[in-house]
Structure 1
Amino acid sequence: MVAVIDHGAGNLVSISQGLERAGARVAVATAPADLSGAAAVVLPGVGAPGAAMSRLTDEGLVEPLRSWKGPLLGICIGLQLFFDVSEEDGQACLGLDRGRVRKLEDAPLLPHIGWNDLTFPGNGRGRDPLFDGIPPGATFYFVHSYAPVPEDPAITIAYAEYPHPFTAAVRSGGRIGVQFHPERSGDQGLRVLANFVSEVEEWSRAAVGSGGAG
């Protein structure tokens, strides 16, 4: 089961439907107990980090998210919450990854709304499995004014441009974040979600084989 966090600012219906189309069984989580039995967690979001963190605090989900060891997918604001602080409102975030969330520099118009293709870092590791099967030039849907700036650039697995390159996706072990909205990105977005679901299934099989838990 994939638990989708409801912090009051997420596209719960569309992301849940996208995950279900990708083959996942989905449940909405609003309390720590809702994570029991989950193989993975999805942290979606639109809006501002301050409101999202306030809701997560009220729901008692901040520490469970910080201690979560299984696969975790952050989408848009969900990705931004991975980092130490957002400059949007000075909000301290989850601190799962070192870095800050900053306003897009020299942007002709904010928020940035539209479709962008991705570039992948030439770091010798090859394209991340999250993007398996994504053809060259494929575009994804973005709606944002801010983007993360990781302290460790090695966790960036994809960039987009508006007008300068910015981090569009990160990975740190089983923790993955995307600045775009896969649930609104058509067939290519569905492929990204399917790749995540496949990774969750592989992780679950490995956990069962080793006698581990989520």
Structure 2
Amino acid sequence: MEIAVVDYKGGNVQSVLFALERLGAQPTLTSDPEVLRKADKVLFPGEGEASSAMEALRAAGLDKVLPTLTQPFLGICLGMQLLGQHSEENDTPMLGLLPFTVQRFVSDATHKVPHMGWNNLQALQGPLFAGLTDADHVYFVHSYYAPVGAYTTAQSAHPAPFSAAVQHGNFHGVQFHTEKSGAVGTRILANFLDL
């Protein structure tokens, strides 16, 4: 199975590659449109800031390529957010694959921004979460979030509910870091590879 990991000079790519290798995959880090189109699965990890990430995608022509992919696709953290229409982070237009606007968390006395650390998943739907329950926890690091909508396949809260995972057709996204989420994250990556 050919596994492609999108290379747009975003952060946290190496830990995603290691997580896939631990599952027996041999992922290819690439920005080559043909390699991405021919892959059986595509992962889109992200760490950083929306406008810089979109600028890098545009510079590589990937903003035109990624929306045309038809194989199972998984966006992780910022990679999930970039699937949306727009981000409040630096007023950034994004890939436009899912109908949400990314919003900034509001900080209060008990809920700081960024939302960082372990939090549980709720309202799980779809094949990514096979074998998991609402008691399972994953690791988040983010200041922005996608609101809950018809595309939401898992939720978490900080303090209000937000989309912990989304799906539209072959495009899946998770707001948390699968590669930092222990056995639960490993199970989700394995479920994705099984799609």
TM class by shorter-chain length?
over 0.9
Q: Counterpart of 2:150 in 1: which secondary structure?
A: helix
Per-residue deviation, 1:21? 2.0
Per-residue deviation, 1:106? 4.5
The answer for the alignment partner of 1:203 in structure 2 is: none
Check if 1:168 corresponds to 2:169: no
Check if 1:198 corresponds to 2:194: yes
Unaligned runs of 5+ in 2: none
Per-residue deviation, 1:33? 3.2
Amino acid at match of 1:89: N
Check if 1:119 corresponds to 2:115: no
Check if 1:87 corresponds to 2:88: yes
The answer for the alignment partner of 1:208 in structure 2 is: none
Q: Counterpart of 2:179 in 1: which secondary structure?
A: helix
For residues 116-167 of structure 1, the C-alpha deviation after alignment (integer angstroms, 9 at most, x for no partner) is: 001116xxxxx321111124411100000001136xx221011101111111
> Any conservation in 2 of the 1:72–1:175 contact (CA below 8 Å)?
yes
Q: CA RMSD in A?
A: 1.5
Amino acid at match of 1:139: H
Check if 1:40 corresponds to 2:38: no
The answer for the alignment partner of 1:110 in structure 2 is: 113
Q: Counterpart of 1:191 in 2: which secondary structure?
A: helix
Question: Which shows bigger deviation, 91-100 or 29-38?
Answer: 29-38
- C-alpha separation in 2, matches of 1:10 and 1:39: 23
Q: Counterpart of 2:146 in 1: which secondary structure?
A: strand
> Any conservation in 2 of the 1:87–1:103 contact (CA below 8 Å)?
yes
TM-score (norm 2): 0.93
- C-alpha separation in 2, matches of 1:119 and 1:36: 33
Kindly name which structure, 1 or 2, has the bigger radius of gyration based on alpha carbons. Answer: 1
> Any conservation in 1 of the 2:147–2:161 contact (CA below 8 Å)?
no
TM-score (norm 1): 0.85
Per-residue deviation, 1:34? 3.0
